[in-house]
Structure 1
Amino acid sequence: MPNTLLGLFAKSPIKPLEEHISKVHECCENLVPFFEAVFADDWDKAAHYRANINTLEKEADKLKRNIRLNLPSGLFMPVQRSDLLELLTHQDRIANKAKDISGRVVGRQLYIPKELHELFLPYLKRCLDATAKAREAINELEDLLETGFRGRELDLVTNMIAQLDQIEDDTDTMQIGLRQGLRALESQINPVDVMFLYNMIEKVGELADQALRVGARLELMIFRA
């Protein structure tokens, strides 16, 4: 007899979810060399990383569709199917945002003032800390299910979700600093570019916001178990 809940059905629905969040995070990681190329005014290299982001987002989309088509709906699902699908949707939106950010920057060949570079990269990397932490939490989901949402594994995942909250708070603070830096430069920049820059800063912050939503959905799943 199987000794875990996941042994009740032939194929775990959790492994594909873990594969998806890993692909999503990989997609987002390309934003670092992408923006480094933008800072260097190397638009050919930026376009290369933009293409990487597009490819990885499409691969994540394919994984998403496969999960939706093959997710079990029978009696022995250890968690609600709707919860897993909602979790998948929140994961997928992270990759969509990375694609949107890179597309807007390349499409306009958006100039990012040198005065913002030292503030921007740490901000971006902190947002990616959030996507990495979301991946880490999702990768614990199968073990969490096997323990019946109890014990050390529950404490571990709950702590990861709390860390996501802290990371998102950090990115909010860093975004304020970036906005203040941009405000001081507004008179030196094309007004339309200023609008695009504010939007781009906000969109990068949404990576962390969306990663936090993944954690919140996982937390809700735990409470329902």
Structure 2
Amino acid sequence: MASRNPLGSLFGRSPIGPIQLHMKVATEAAEHLPELLQATADEDWGRAKEIHKAISADESAADKLKRDVRRHLPKSLFLPVPRSDLLQLVSIQDQVANTAQDFASVVMGRDLRFPDKLFPAVLELASTSVCCCQHALKAIQELDELLEVGFSGREVKRVEAMLKELDKLERKTDKQQFSLRRKLYKMESELAPVDVMFYYRAMGLLGELADIAEKVGDRLQILLAK
């Protein structure tokens, strides 16, 4: 008996389902980051290694889903939005998982542990950035409902309210990142220059994660406007 493609079956039920699943997996990769930071603060490198593996597994799963969506998203969909826009949405979503993986690789590549004076603020930035991803996921999970109502009516207003909240969270991460950079700048003379470079890099990736989540929301906003 020929095996069935589970993703193909999911497409058969809903053209949006695999796109929502992709964002869920990408968000799961990001959700590990505060836990990874806490493990490094505790100098529990064994635990940190396991978390890194989990992030890598999520990134690989998201990458596979992205390729499958590109191959199997039907070309003859009668949707109120172009197929190309949905594929672009998936490409942006995939950057969530990629950025989480990049952050984990920077941390684990150098056994990077933030100074105690910086750690609470770094953890707060990571948590807010993850919250941005979770808000973007909640909005993407409304795609089925939006499809049913033809991207119009009260459902659109509800999703637009979600996207406004996402924008507010992203602006919060901008302020958190600026504050962190100022704190690190004042501590630079006390730290190894190479470590300082990687601290800035890691902090930048956390800010980038929030920016990408906002881009997911922006792409959804474009779909709502069509």
Q: What TM bracket, shorter-length normalisation?
A: over 0.9
Which aligned pairs between 1:146-225 and structure 2 lie closer than 5 A?
Answer: 146-224=148-226
Secondary structure in structure 1 of the residue aligned to 2:124: helix
**What residue number does 1:6 align with?**
none
- Number of matched residues? 216
Moved over 2 A (4+): none
> Within the alignment, does 1:56 sit opposite 2:58 as a pair?
yes
Query: Per-residue deviation at 1:75?
Result: 5.3
Query: Per-residue deviation at 1:78?
Result: 3.4
Secondary structure in structure 1 of the residue aligned to 2:118: helix
Question: Quick one: percent identity of the two aligned structures?
Answer: 42
**Which whole-Å CA distance do the structure 1 matches of 2:213 and 2:168 have between them?**
12
- Show CA shifts across 1:94-127 (max 9, x none): 1000001001110011231000111111111111
**What residue number does 1:20 align with?**
22
Alpha-carbon contact 2:77-2:83 (below 8 Å) kept: no
TM-score (normalised: structure 2): 0.93
| Structure 2, unpaired ranges of 5+ | 1-10
**Which whole-Å CA distance do the structure 2 matches of 1:42 and 1:96 have between them?**
24
Query: Per-residue deviation at 1:86?
Result: 0.4
**Which whole-Å CA distance do the structure 2 matches of 1:191 and 1:201 have between them?**
15
* C-alpha RMSD of matched pairs (Å): 1.2
**What residue number does 2:47 align with?**
45
**Which whole-Å CA distance do the structure 1 matches of 2:176 and 2:77 have between them?**
46
Query: Per-residue deviation at 1:10?
Result: 4.3
Q: 1:10 to 1:99 in 2, by over 3 A?
A: closer
TM-score (normalised: structure 1): 0.93
> Within the alignment, does 1:32 sit opposite 2:34 as a pair?
yes
Which aligned pairs between 1:88-99 and structure 2 lie closer than 5 A?
Answer: 88-99=90-101
Q: 1:63 to 1:189 in 2, by over 3 A?
A: same
Alpha-carbon contact 1:64-1:92 (below 8 Å) kept: yes
Residue type at the aligned position of 2:25: K
**What residue number does 2:133 align with?**
131
Alpha-carbon contact 1:111-1:193 (below 8 Å) kept: no
Residue type at the aligned position of 1:204: L
